[in-house]
Amino acid sequence: MKLFIYHTPELTPSSGVPDCAIAIDVLRATTTMVTALAAGAEAVQVFSDLDKLINESDSWPTEKRIRAGERGGAKVAGFDMGNSPLDCTPEQVQGRRLFISTTNGTRSLERVQKAGAVMAGAFVNRRAVVNYILSEAPETVWIVGSGWEGSFSLEDTACAGAIAQSLVTELNLPVEQVAGNDEVVGAIALYEQWKDRLLELMHQASHGQRLLRLDCDEDLKYCVQMDLLDVLPIQREPGVLVKRR
């Protein structure tokens, strides 16, 4: 198995796709997707374009859909919800499809949607991601962070490092045998340094600070909970993720 980490979708190779790809947007898209499916959402459908989201979801009955839109950390006007996982209660999402577009995370999923297997990862479902990779043993794995508008983000790289560190430990192999690029070594080092202070790291991250200015401090506390949910959002068809059974 060779593991590659890319800090943003723009940094992935322009040709070819891996056997398995994990998109990460800790703050907050992939955390929200995991939480929505754990709370009983029928599926999550991702869009980078808001107009396409509206057009596609128009064909669904109002009671069977939720439009979730976020730009710059804030809820898009006219949408049912923004990008907070705390809004994904069973009362809100049970049996409904979440149509979601965010500033960063949905772009990562679109970039890797042609991979052999595509899933959404976050701190809250780190163990579910690791268990899938260990059981399926894909030859090539990409972990793709979302970053912030094309640039590196601390939170996504730390989460990628958490996944990579678990894989290296459980495979019982030297990191150099697993790492396909230097970013794997760097991400593991970042996670190891901050693994007991993840909330503090979120407060130092630029997007964490942005969310704090929007009074989303409870979101940050939720998003750093490790292995909270045994749920793996996995792509059933391009752009549509469901809970792996």
Rounded Cα–Cα distance for residues 63 and 71 (Å): 24
Residue 234 has pLDDT above 90, yes or no: yes
Rounded Cα–Cα distance for residues 181 and 147 (Å): 18
CA dihedral 184, 151, 218, 232 (to 10 degrees): -50
pLDDT, mean over the chain: 95
Residues 6+ apart with CB under 8 A from 150: 8, 10
Residue 29 has pLDDT above 90, yes or no: yes
More confident call, 151 vs 142: 142
Residue 94 pLDDT: 97
pLDDT level of residue 104 (50, 70, 90 thresholds): confident
Residue 216 has pLDDT above 90, yes or no: yes
Rounded Cα–Cα distance for residues 45 and 241 (Å): 6
Among 97, 165, 88, 93, smallest CA distance to 126 is for 165
Task: Give this prediction's pTM.
Answer: 0.96
Residue 73 has pLDDT above 90, yes or no: no
Beta bridge partners of 65: 97
Q: What is the DSSP letter of 25?
A: -
Other Cβ atoms less than 10 A from the Cβ of 127: the count is: 17
Residue 226 pLDDT: 98
Angle at 204 between CA 187 and CA 68, to 5 degrees: 85
Using a pLDDT cut of 90, give the percent of the chain over it: 91
Rounded Cα–Cα distance for residues 33 and 29 (Å): 6
- In tens, the pLDDT along 160-213 reads 999 999 999 999 999 999 999 999 999 999 999 999 999 999 999 999 999 999
Residue 16 pLDDT: 86
pLDDT level of residue 105 (50, 70, 90 thresholds): confident
Mean pLDDT across 39-48: 96
The dihedral built from the CA positions of residue 70, 204, 110 and 129, taken in this order, carries a sign that is: negative
Rounded Cα–Cα distance for residues 75 and 60 (Å): 21
Other Cβ atoms less than 10 A from the Cβ of 4: the count is: 20
Residue 157 pLDDT: 97
pLDDT level of residue 53 (50, 70, 90 thresholds): very high
Rounded Cα–Cα distance for residues 206 and 162 (Å): 20
Rounded Cα–Cα distance for residues 146 and 2 (Å): 21
Residue 129 pLDDT: 98
- In tens, the pLDDT along 111-132 reads 999 999 999 999 999 999 999 9
